[in-house]
Every structure is written in C-alpha cells, then in structure tokens.
C-alpha cells in the first residue's frame, strides 16, 4: 500500500514568505524563505512545494538563486511553481534543484509548453496547479493567472484536460477555502480524485489536523498546508502523530509511521 504524504507549502511574494487568504498575500511570515525550508526539512515533512505568487515577474536570476539555495538545504522532494512561462525557465529551475515543476496558467495559455516539458522531463515532473473558484452564478469554474481569470471549465473536466496534456499530479486548491480555516473543498476534491488516475494533492483551508484526515478520506493521495505549519511548533510531526492515530499509514523520517512506531 502506498503511504500517504504530508506536504508543506511555502508561498513566496517578492522574496518573502507570506500568508495566503483567498489568494491575498499581505502578511509576511518570514523575511527569508530558507528559514522555513530548513525548519520543515527537520520536521519530517515528506515534500515541500515552493510557489512564487509575486504580482510582477520576478528577476529570473534572483528566483533561480533562491531555488538553488533551497535545494542545497532541502532533503525532501522539492516542487517549484510560479512564472514558468518558457522552456528556458523550466530548465534552469530543474538544474537548480527542483524535482517537479508546478504549472497553472500554462495549461490555458500555452498547452504546447506543457506537452513539451512533459515529454522532455517525464509526466512525473509536471504538477498541474488547479484553482477552483465559485462565480456569481454559484458554479465552480477554474481560475488561472493567480485567480484573476476564469476559465469556463468545471474542476473535474479541467483535471482530465491537464492530465491529457501531460500532468502527472494535481495540486488542488479552492479560492474560497484558501486560508479560510474550514478545511478543504471536499466535494471538489472527491470529484477530481474520482475522475483522474494521477495522484491528487489537497490544499487550502487547513485549521485542524482533522481537516488533513478529511482530505485523505475524500480521495487525496497527499495533503498539504501552508499557514498552519508556520505558526505551530513541530507542526508536521504533530500532524503525522494525529494521522497515524487515525489509522493512516504515513512516513516518519524515512520509515513507516503507525501507532506504536513513533
């Protein structure tokens, strides 16, 4: 049986780590992302996702340098997203130490780029970031470009599309749940997980460890959080303890982590 993964998400805006609430990023948590990365690496997290949400395109050399510094201090798989708009940027990030590329807007604006990257580096390297957003008519659509543009596809339909273009994993968030502390958007998570065969990472809205368990129960292969992990000491270890006690088979520092094996 595949073990469940616990993923820490670090959101970067203009070089600092920020809190995300419905895709607004105003509260700075750390001035240097390396501090958060080193902390999570020590706290038994299975993977780290690093997302650049800067509103204007960051200096290429500066961000690649950050990824390089991150990779040197990070001893778990590292996924990088944000402003990947061409082959050269993707190549530089992978050479700097990224294990996976997280793409969002490219699936709408430049699907050929996604296909090229998937063919060149393998489907397992491409993570599709899917952001669901509820519109005024009460329907759930896809939002791209940092949730500023609506694509009139439902989340499950869009999930099928991105897998067809070469995504090997889905990173699923909901604008309304992001930072709202009420757990994942479980109906959407369930629909997407049932529709595609690739792993789905649940993200957005975790306040209690129970929310992580709810994500697994709704079909997620991995659960992720950002804000809560920054404000609780040894947060990921505490989360894994809870999940193990709830009967989920997870990993702890490279070994199987079950009740009685801590």
Across the range 199-224, mean pLDDT stands at 97
- Which has the higher per-residue pLDDT, 74 or 100? 100
pLDDT digits (tens, 9 = 90+) for 127-164: 999 999 998 888 999 999 989 999 999 999 999 999 99
Strands 140-144 and 149-151 come out as: antiparallel
Return the pLDDT at 27: 82
Q: Is 29 helix (H, G, I), strand (E, B) or coil?
A: strand
Q: Other CB atoms closer than 10 Å to residue 17's CB: what's the count?
A: 23
Across the range 41-68, mean pLDDT stands at 84
Return the pLDDT at 58: 65
Across the range 224-234, mean pLDDT stands at 83
Burial class of 22 by CB neighbour count within 10 A (0 to 12, 13 to 18, 19+):
middle
Across the range 73-98, mean pLDDT stands at 94
- Rounded Cα gap, residues 189 and 201, in angstroms: 9
pLDDT at 16 over 90: no
pLDDT at 245 over 70: yes
Across the range 215-222, mean pLDDT stands at 97
Domain boundaries defined on the chain: 5-251
pLDDT at 257 over 60: no
Q: Which residue matches tokens 């957003």?
A: 133
Domain over 5-251 is classified CATH 3.20.20.70 = yes
- Rounded Cα gap, residues 214 and 98, in angstroms: 29
| 30-44, 62-76, 91-105: least confidently modelled range | 30-44
What band does 254 get if pLDDT is binned at 50, 70 and 90? very low
- The pLDDT mean for the chain works out to 90
Q: Other CB atoms closer than 10 Å to residue 108's CB: what's the count?
A: 17
């Amino acid at each position: 049986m595949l073990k469940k993964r616990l993923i820490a998400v670090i959101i970067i805006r203009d070089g600092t780590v920020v809190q995300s609430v419905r895709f607004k990023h105003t509260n700075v948590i750390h001035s240097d992302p390396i501090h958060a990365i080193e902390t999570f690496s020590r706290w038994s997290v299975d993977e780290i996702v690093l997302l650049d949400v800067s509103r204007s395109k960051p200096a290429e050399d500066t961000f690649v340098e950050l990824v390089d510094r991150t990779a040197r201090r990070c001893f778990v798989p590292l996924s990088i997203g944000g402003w990947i708009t061409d082959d050269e940027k993707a190549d530089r990030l992978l050479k700097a130490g990224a294990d996976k590329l997280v793409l969002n807007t490219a699936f709408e604006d430049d699907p050929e780029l996604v296909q090229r990257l998937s063919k060149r580096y393998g489907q397992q390297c491409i993570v599709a970031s899917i952001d669901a957003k509820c519109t005024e008519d009460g329907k759930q659509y896809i939002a791209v470009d940092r949730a500023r543009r609506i694509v009139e596809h439902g989340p499950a339909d869009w999930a099928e599309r991105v897998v067809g273009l070469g995504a090997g994993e889905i990173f699923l968030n909901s604008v309304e749940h992001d930072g709202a502390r009420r757990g994942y958007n479980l109906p959407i998570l369930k629909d997407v997980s049932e529709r595609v065969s690739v792993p789905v990472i649940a993200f957005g809205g975790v306040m209690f460890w129970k929310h992580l368990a709810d994500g697994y129960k709704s079909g997620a292969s991995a659960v992720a959080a950002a804000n809560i992990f920054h404000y609780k000491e040894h947060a990921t270890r505490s989360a894994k303890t809870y999940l193990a006690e709830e009967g989920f088979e997870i990993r702890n520092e490279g070994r199987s982590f079950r009740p009685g094996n801590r």
